[in-house]
Structure 1
Amino acid sequence: MSYQILILTPTNYLVWAVKVKSIMDAHGIWETVEAKTSGGELDPKKKKQALAFLFQAIPEEIVLQMSDYTDPKRVWEGIKTRYLGVDWVRTARLATLKRELESLHMKEGETVDDFAAKFSGLASKARSLGHELEEVDLVKRLLDSMPKSFLQIVASIEQCFELDTMFFDEAVGRLKAYEECIKGSKKVEDVHGGLLLSREENSDGCMHCGSGGSHRDGFGRGRGRGRGSGRSQDGKERVRDNSHVKCYKCGEFDHYNNECPKWEKEANLIIEEESALL
C-alpha cells in the first residue's frame, strides 16, 4: 500500500504531524523518533529511512537548514520547536486553549455538527501541545456546552448511560439524533399552525360584507332578532348595513322578504277580514 506524503506548510503543522506519524508507524520507522522501549540500539537502516522520509515531507528551505542532522528524532524535535515554539510559549498557548474549551457553548440555532467540529478542533490543538484529554472529559464537557433546548436529551444521556465508557463520537451521534427529532416536530407544528390560522381566517366572516360567522348567522335567523340586528362572536349587539339587500315581495331595499312590512300589513288585513266574517 502506498501513502501520499503531505508537505509541511506554515499553517498545517497539526494535521501534518498526525499524518506523518501514522505513515512512519505503518512503515515501522516511527520508533526511530519515539522509541517504545528504553534501551537497545536502533536499526541504522531504519534511521536512514526515517530521515529520508522526513526530508521528503518538509519544504526545501527547512531541508537546507537541517541538512547536517543525522538523527530523525532531532529533525522531528526541530520542526516541532519551529512551529509550536519553545516550552514556555507552548504552555501559554495551552492555557489559552483550555480557557477557550471551558468557555465554549453551543448557541441556539447552531447545528450539532458545526459545534462538534469546533469543539474537537480545540481539543486536537490541546493534545498536540501535550495536554492529554480523556474521552470522558470530552463527553462531559460537550454535554455541559449544550443549550437549553437540549437539556432533555442531556439529562437522559447522563441518567441512562455510563459516561465513563462513552466515546465522544457516540455522544455526538445521540445529540444529532435528538436534533433531527426537534426539526421534525417543528415542521409538524408549523403545518398544524398554518391549518389553524387558515381556519380562523375563514371563520372571521364574509369577505364581501364583513359580517361575522356564516352568511346565515350574519343576517339573523327568522324574525326574532329584528330588522338589521345581529350579534358578533363576543355576544355584543351590532347594526348591519342592509342598503344593498332587496326584498323579493315588494321590490324595495333595506330589508329581507321575511321582514317585509307590507307583507305583515297584508297578513293582518286578512286576519281582520276573516275575524269579521266569523
Structure 2
Amino acid sequence: MALVSHGGAGGSAVPLSCPVLTGDNYTIWAIKVEANLDAQVLWEVVVPTEDAAAAVIAKKDKPARAYLFGGLAEDILLQVSSKKTTAEVLASLKARFVGADRVRAARLSTLRGDFDRLVMADGDTLDVYARKISGMAAKYASLGATLEDAEMVKKLLDTVPDDLYTAVAGIEQFCDVETVCFDEVLGRLKAFQERSARRKVALGGERREDQLLLTAAQWEARRRARGGGHDHDDGGSSVDSGARGRRGKCWNCGVRDHFSRDCPEPRKEKALLANVDDEPALL
C-alpha cells in the first residue's frame, strides 16, 4: 500500500510507498515510516495531540495501520497482525527489534563502546567517516538516547589524520567545540583539505630539505671527480689519512691520486726566480 501525499492546494499527488522491514533495517525503517505518516497528518494516531478528537484518530488509524502492513515481511506481519491499532503495531515492532528496558540498556552500553572505539580507517574520506559518526547518532536515537553534537565534534577532531592537525588546532583555538555544529566542523576540515591539495599541486609537490642537502653533496662529489679538488697540505693544513684517496695533483711530481707530502719522488725545490741562463742579463 502507498499513501498519497498532496503538495498543498492544487498540488500533484505523490505516492509514498512504505519501506520493507526485513529485520536488519529497523532504525532506518522507523525513521522513514514516521516521516511518511507525519506528512499525511497520520502520526497523531501514534502520538495524539491534546486537541485531537477520538473520532478523528479512529478514522485515521485504519489507513495508517494498513500502510504499515504493506511494508512488513510475511513472517513479521503474522506476528503483529492481531494488533488492532497503529500504535500497538509500532510498539510491538519496537519491542521486538529494540528490546525491553534491560535489553535497551545493554544495547546502549555496547553502542557507546562502539562509538568510543570508532576511528578513521586508512581508506576513509572525511565524508565517509562523518557518515559513520552520524550513523552512530541515528542508532542512539533509535534506543531513545541522544548523541550530542559536542561528542561527535570531539570524536571527529580526535581521530582525523595527522595532515589535518593544523586545521584541528585552528578550530579548537577559534571555535567553541562545546557549542559548534558538527556539520560546520566537517565543512572546515574539508575546506582545509582541499586547499592543501591545491597548494601541493601548485608547488609541484613537497620539497624536503634533506633532498636539497643530498643534491649539494652529489654536486661536491662530481666536482672532485672532475679534478676540482686541490692539494693544500703544503700550506700546513691538517688532513687525516682518509683524505689520501681524494683526487688531487701532486705539486712535487705532477701525478694525481696522492699528496705531495706522500710523493715517492725526491722533493724538488720550488724556484720562483727565472733561470738566468735562459734570460738576457739585466743591464
> Residue 274 of structure 1: CA displacement?
2.4
Query: What is the aligned partner in structure 2 of residue 192 from structure 1?
Result: 207
Counterpart in the other structure of 2:8: none
Question: Is 1:133 aligned to 2:147, yes or no?
Answer: yes
Matched with 1:271 is: 275
Listed as ranges, the matches of 1:173-212 within 5 Å are 173-181=187-195, 191-193=206-208, 196=212, 199-200=215-216, 202-206=218-222
Q: Are the equivalent residues in 2 in contact too, given 1:101–1:123 (CA < 8 A)?
A: no
CA contact (8 A) 1:107 1:147 kept: no
Q: Is the 8 A contact 2:224 2:247 kept in 1?
A: no
The Cα of 1:84 is off from its aligned counterpart by 1.5
Q: CA deviation at 1:164?
A: 5.1
What is the 5 A alignment of 1:45-60?
45-60=59-74
Of 244, 259, 263 in structure 2, the residue corresponding to residue 238 of structure 1 is 244
The letter for the 1-side match of 2:46 is: V
Aligned to 2:41: 28
CA distance in 1, matches of 2:31, 2:220: 67
Following superposition, the deviation at residue 12 of structure 1 comes to 1.0
**Aligned counterpart for 2:102 among listed residues 88, 111, 114:** 88
Query: How large is the Cα RMSD of the aligned pairs?
Result: 4.2
Q: 1:5 to 1:201 in 2, by over 3 A?
A: farther
Q: Partner of 1:19 in structure 2?
A: 32
Tell me what 1:10 maps to.
23
Structure ranking higher in helix proportion: 1
Residue matched to 1:168: 182
Deviations 1:1-38 (A, max 9, x none): 23343211121111111111111111211111222437
Displacement after TM superposition at 1:171 (Å): 1.4
Identity rate, percent: 34
Write the distance in 1 (CA, Å) between the matches of 2:51 and 2:76: 30
Aligned-pair CA distance for 1:62: 1.9
Question: Is the CA contact (8 Å cut-off) linking 1:24 and 1:50 kept in structure 2?
Answer: yes
Normalised by the size of structure 2, how large is the TM-score? 0.68
- Give the whole-Å Cα distance in 2 for the aligned partners of 1:16 and 1:93: 19
CA distance in 2, matches of 1:135, 1:277: 104
TM-score between both structures, scaled by the size of structure 1: 0.69
Q: Which amino acid aligns with 1:238?
A: R
Give ranges in structure 2 of 5+ residues lacking alignment: 1-13, 257-264
- Please, which moves more after superposition, 33-42 or 49-58? 33-42
How far 1:117 sits from its partner (Å)? 2.5
Aligned to 2:226: 215
Aligned-pair distance for 1:82? 1.4
Alpha-carbon distance between aligned partners in 2 of 1:126 and 1:240, rounded to the nearest angstrom:
73
Q: What are the ranges of 5 or more consecutive residues in structure 1 without an aligned counterpart?
A: 207-211, 246-252, 256-260
Q: How does 1:104-143 map to 2 (within 5 A)?
A: 104-106=118-120, 111-143=125-157
Query: How far did residue 198 of structure 1 move?
Result: 6.8
Deviation at 1:52, TM superposition (A): 0.9
